[in-house]
Homo-oligomer: A and B are copies of this chain.
């Protein structure tokens, strides 16, 4: 890349490039150990030019985390059409697309980091979780969640986070299986909760009523039934 070509990069493009470089560097090492000189070198620009876009490392780090949070949230949008299981599966596919593409950025976002006050990093992560929660409630046609439904949805979200972080560590399980498994997990957690709560049972029945015979939720019951026989 020539100097002329580098100079032609627009403001937004340059910001995005620096954010991508930052996500990569900050997730390899502690932000304290990464210098702006390294960011400049990795981006192929001068140190003063980095400061032109971001007044300091902290600002660059926060911008990088914010970018990851917004990008991830955007993947949750899903049309309100068709069986719920299939909708959730499509969201899971896009979720793992994001995790696969931006693995380091995802880890950096979820684990926060020492350079950013955990309050602010935590607020970004909580924003993503809240967006996921709101989306799921909307798909379930529930405007005011009751305690057990809130627990099922929020605890499933943390399950999806943990599963994705563990998958990133070596990618030793096919992601397509984990996408399906997480949809099954949602159904399983909802069903367990429904065993204790009539309103939850109503939600589960409503989901299953819309589910086709060969749908992903129906599939779960069959799978569970095949297992319990001792070998």
A residues engaging B (CB < 8 A)?
30, 111-114, 116-119, 121-122, 147-148, 150-151, 154-159, 161-163, 166-167, 170, 172-173, 177-178, 180-181, 184-185, 188-189, 191-196, 201-202, 204-205, 208-209, 220-221, 223-224, 226-231
Contact = CB atoms under 8 A, between A and B. Distances in A.
A226 to B, nearest CB: 8
Contacts of A113: 118
How many copies of the chain does the oligomer comprise? 2
Task: Identify whether the interface residues of A are mostly helix, strand, loop, or mixed.
Answer: helix
Contacts of A159: 155-156, 158-159, 189
B119 A30 contact: yes
Nearest to A170: B147
B195 A208 contact: no
Nearest to A226: B195
A65 B95 CA distance: 33
Given A111-B118, A188-B191, A209-B230, 7 more contacts: A118-B121, A151-B166, A184-B195, A195-B224, A195-B227, A208-B230, A221-B224
